[in-house]
Amino acid sequence: MKKLKTKKVTYTNPIFNNMTQEEITDYQEKLLKKQLKYVYRNSEFYRAKFKEIGIHPDEIRTLEDYYKLPVFLNKTIEREIQQQSIDKYDHPFGLHLCTSPDDIAFTGTTSGTSGNPTFTYTFTEEDLNFLNRYIAHMLDYGGINAGERLLFSHALGIYATSSILFGVRSHGVLPIDVDVRAGSQMILKYAQMTKPTAAMMTSSLTEHLIDKAPELIGMNVGDLGLQAIFTVGEIGIGIPEVKKKIEDAYGCRVYDYLGELGFSCDSDEYHGIHCVAPDLSLFPNDLIDPETKKPIEIYNGVIGELIITELNLKALPRIRYSSGDIVQVFTSECPGCGFKGKRIKFIGRSDDMLIIKGANVYPSAIKKVVSNFIPEVSGELRIVLDTPPPRVVPPLQVKIEYGADFDTHKLPELEARIKNELHTQVRVTPNIIWCPTGSLGKALTKTPIFEKNY
């Protein structure tokens, strides 16, 4: 691909670019105090929560005071208070709603694959206008300008990703929104006809289209003319092999983003999501230990469960919301672009966490290390559990598929290298069970990481 000098990521709101980290913290503290008073005044749920813990928002003077509060919300509680608001007020948004339901301009849910969908992404017009600037900033950073077209292929409609379309339009970019359920052929056909300069898709779809394009539209994805791809929602391009494969095939940069909270930089190497929105959320300064739920001090490289607190949203702001996502936070300057703010990398989900000899181990971290050995391995693996997690009696049993063309005589040597990397990076020395390519199977939706034998 074309070699450019890496462009530095800046904060979306330029006032932060000249602030020190301490000044940014002070700024967030002011926003937090205002927001806590707002939610206390306007939401039945948050008011009850403060009363339950015996604290009034006025008593929270610093961010440190705030980080000590218990978790207020998670998916389970969200579902409960949604049901209560249906029963009590005839709307599904939950008792934490801070405006009238009449003021809602957009609502978006997660897929609802595990239980009822949650209307987590519910915004007023003012909220949308506030959020749009972050998406516009990211497109601008990726070199996408007004007047250009963007292939948008996610599940459309009631799903959260649809809210991103407001930001795309606000930047003067025309979305070509093809619902992912239309299938690869339709997606590629629209791309061929409308000549977008950018695309927003999951990284698995982006990868899938590489193989499908020659057969379905008679051309390579590299000839579509894309100049930037933005992926969301998966570890995806955090795996170097995946990032390189996509960039080589499409001949353009691929960025990873986390809604409005941030995006990865224009660098050959992946340096995580750059947190560009300190005025939107306390993310990622608020981490808890996934087991004890106690706050964790932030330092370069720390790993913990992400707590979300939205500082400026009006309709359904999340306050001390436990996301279940385990992230690693970097406070050092980005080695790729020089961004001075915080960066994060996804490590896994708290519900997948294993505890081996007292240490927290995340399956996705194991998968990431093993993926670095593609094509010697296929990338598919299963962690075999004989007893219910999280505690595992060592050694951890891991089934790994060797690559299709791999000479099995060399397995002992490959095994030693993989074990060495897992020991260095994840601090686990597993027992590897080798399997032929394709024998573990790959699900079309979400491939399981565990093989449960209990």
Q: What is the dihedral of CA 248, 335, 197, 126, to 10 degrees?
A: 140
Q: How far is the CB of 14 from Zn ion (least distance, A)?
A: 18
Rank residues 339 and 346 by Cβ distance to Zn ion and give the closer one: 339
Rank residues 238 and 336 by Cβ distance to Zn ion and give the closer one: 336
Q: How far is the CB of 333 from Zn ion (least distance, A)?
A: 9
Tokens 């809602």 sit at which residue?
Answer: 104
DSSP structure string for 148-200: -EEEE-S--SSBGGGGHHHHHHHTT-EEEE--GGG-HHHHHHHHHHH--SEEE
Distance, CA of 84 to CA of 343 (rounded, Å): 37
Residue list 325-344, contact with Zn ion (CB under 5 A): 334, 336-337, 339
Rank residues 265 and 354 by Cβ distance to Zn ion and give the closer one: 265
Q: How far is the CB of 426 from Zn ion (least distance, A)?
A: 24
Are the CB atoms for 167 and 129 separated by under 8 Å? no
Are the CB atoms for 214 and 224 separated by under 8 Å? no
**What are φ and ψ of residue 407, in 5° steps?**
-80, 110
Q: What is the dihedral of CA 250, 167, 324, 85, to 10 degrees?
A: -140
- Mapped onto helix, strand or coil, the DSSP state of residue 407 is coil
Rank residues 104 and 228 by Cβ distance to Zn ion and give the closer one: 228
Rank residues 16 and 402 by Cβ distance to Zn ion and give the closer one: 16
Q: How far is the CB of 431 from Zn ion (least distance, A)?
A: 38
Q: How far is the CB of 288 from Zn ion (least distance, A)?
A: 26
Single out the residue of 271, 314, 340, 382 in contact with Zn ion (rule: CB under 5 A): 271
Per-residue x/- track, 209-248, Zn ion (CB under 5 A): ----------------------------------------
Per the DSSP assignment, residues forming a β-bridge with 104 are: 124
Distance, CA of 69 to CA of 53 (rounded, Å): 8
Q: How far is the CB of 8 from Zn ion (least distance, A)?
A: 7
Within 73-155, strands assigned E span 104-108, 121-124, 149-152
Rank residues 7 and 208 by Cβ distance to Zn ion and give the closer one: 7
Strands 354-356 and 359-361: antiparallel
Q: Which stretch binds Zn ion (CB under 5 A): 40-48, 271-279, 354-362, 377-385?
A: 271-279
Q: How far is the CB of 266 from Zn ion (least distance, A)?
A: 8
Rank residues 170 and 267 by Cβ distance to Zn ion and give the closer one: 267
Residue 391 one-letter amino acid: R
Rank residues 123 and 255 by Cβ distance to Zn ion and give the closer one: 255
Alpha carbon separation from 114 to 97, 117, 157, 296, 401 (Å, rounded): 23, 8, 19, 29, 29
Is residue 273 near Zn ion by the rule CB under 5 A? no
Residue list 251-270, contact with Zn ion (CB under 5 A): 265
Tokens 């300064």 sit at which residue?
Answer: 285
Rank residues 263 and 362 by Cβ distance to Zn ion and give the closer one: 263
Are the CB atoms for 401 and 371 separated by under 8 Å? no
Q: How far is the CB of 87 from Zn ion (least distance, A)?
A: 47
Q: How far is the CB of 267 from Zn ion (least distance, A)?
A: 6
Under rule CB under 5 A, how many of the chain's residues touch Zn ion? 6
Which residues are at the interface with Zn ion (CB under 5 A)? 265, 271, 334, 336-337, 339
